[in-house]
Amino acid sequence: MKRIGLTVRAMRTISAIGATTGLLAAVAVATPAMAVEGNAEAAASKKSMCIGCHGIPGYKASFPEVYNVPYIAGQNAKYIEAALNAYKKGDRKHPTMRGIAETLTEQDIADLAAYYAQAK
Ligand code: HEC
């Protein structure tokens, strides 16, 4: 009798774990679908680390050497987001942009993309 009681309890525990795991799996699957909303206003404090390069006349940075800096204002938000994620992941190799993108969260990227998409 005692044995059966234990088995039943063990089975209850196992099914409880199963239910929890299933729930966690559902949450994990649902997360990527909930896209991060970009907020242009939230980018106000974040863009200070971009304007040094992306906001200068002629769009050239002079350090460490003179190179062209792409004009990103008015660019499509999805494009900016994709570009920043590519630097972050290392698919795009530019060292400065990689260094910057690595410090940005998903939310930062969405906010900056929203900001630059509507900037002129
Ligand atoms: C030190 C100068 C510098 C800073 C600071 C900087 N960038 Fe860049 N950025 C560049 C350069 C140079 C490139 C071109 C890199 C390449 O050739 O891949 C670039 C490329 C990009 C691109 C891709 C543009 C395209 O047309 O594909 C995006 C988007 C971008 N930067 C966004 C940002 C954002 C947002 C910030 C601030 C968080 C920032 N950058 C800060 C220099 C800078």
Return d(Cα 103, Cα 87) in angstroms, integer: 11
In degrees to the nearest 10, what's the CA dihedral of 68, 53, 103, 46?
A: -140
Return d(Cα 108, Cα 83) in angstroms, integer: 13
**47, 68, 85, 100, best to mutate for ligand 1 pocket (most atoms within 8 Å of CB):** 100
Residue 15 pLDDT: 52
Residue 36 pLDDT: 87
Residue 27 pLDDT: 44
Residue 35 pLDDT: 73
Whether the Cβ atoms of residue 116 and residue 41 lie closer than 8 Å to each other: no
**Which residue is closest in CA terms to ligand 1's atom 26?**
70
Please provide residue 108's backbone torsions phi and psi, each rounded to the nearest 5 degrees: -55, -45
* Centroid of chain to Cα 59: 26
pLDDT in tens, the chain (120 residues): 556 555 555 555 545 544 544 544 444 444 444 678 999 999 988 998 898 788 755 555 555 556 678 888 889 999 999 999 999 999 999 999 999 999 999 999 999 999 999 987
Residue 64 pLDDT: 55
**Which residue is closest in CA terms to ligand 1's atom 17?**
94
Residue 54 pLDDT: 83
Return d(Cα 47, Cα 43) in angstroms, integer: 6
Residue 108 pLDDT: 97
- Residue 23 CA to ligand 1 center (angstroms) comes to 40
**53, 88, 91, best to mutate for ligand 1 pocket (most atoms within 8 Å of CB):** 53
Q: Name the CA radius of gyration of the chain, rounded.
A: 24
